[in-house]
Amino acid sequence: MEQDFLKKEEEFRKENKLLELKTKELLQKVDDMKKMQDLQLRDFKPEMRRLEAKDLNLPKSVDEMGTKGMLHFYKSKIKALMEDLEKTQNELKNKNEELKKIQKSHQTLSEEKEKWFLQYNVEKNTSTKLEKQIIASNSRLQLKESENISLKKELEQLKTELKNTCSELSASESRLKRALQDVEKQKISLKNLRQEEKESKDEYRKNLKDLNTTVKQIQKHKNELLQGYKKQIQLIDNLKRQKAHVESCKVLELAESEFFKLLDWKIE
């Protein structure tokens, strides 16, 4: 953008130089015309010195015509010069108008040049600010790129860790699956054991009940035996009193022996 403004400025400068040169040329032409006009007017003033025919480049025939012929020639010459003067004045007027137009155009171009210079300065300041912003943005971008590189490294590390975690998770899921299968097996085994335990308890209760019944029967039988034994003891006592001392002792020993056998009897 700055290059474009410099290029336009250079073009304005060149155009300004051309206008100045053209203005100088026109002014020079105007000056020349004015000088020519002054010279022509001065040549025809009353106080002007008398010109000779050779000075005016008059033909010899006119010079030979005398005063009347020369007067007629001068009138024709003056008329031609007046026409040339009018033509020159018109041309000068046109040139002056053209000069005014050029000056006006030059003024417009100068104003436009100033406008462009102001805009150029504004754009230059804006460009400077933008360059500073770009530098700051580049710095931030480099910082973000560094952070991005670090984040990419962390991401790769996290991907690796995630992959390892997934592998470990897969292995853990396999172990968990096997453990669940083992738990199911253990549940089934526990259920079977509980069923067996229940059956065993039922059988134990039944056996215990039967055993208690048997014990009661044995206890009853034992009580009956004890009752019978007591009766036998009483009978022995009666026999002791009736029989001799020796026989009584033998019977007593036998009874005592039987009694101790009953006491030592165990339930199998």
Tokens of 110: 């100068």
Count Cβ atoms below 10 Å from residue 16 Cβ, excluding itself. Answer: 14
Q: Is the pTM of this model over 0.85?
A: no
Write out residues in the chain with pLDDT < 50, as ranges: 1-2, 5, 40-41, 44-56, 58, 62-63, 266-268
210-266 confidence digits (pLDDT tens): 888 887 888 888 788 788 778 877 777 776 666 656 655 665 676 667 777 777 664
* Full 3-state SS string of 69-124: HHHHHHHHHHHHHHHHHHHHHHHHHHHHHHHHHHHHHHHHHHHHHHHHHHHHHHHH
**Cβ–Cβ under 8 Å, residues 192 and 184:** no
Q: What Rg, from alpha-carbon coordinates, does the chain have?
A: 77
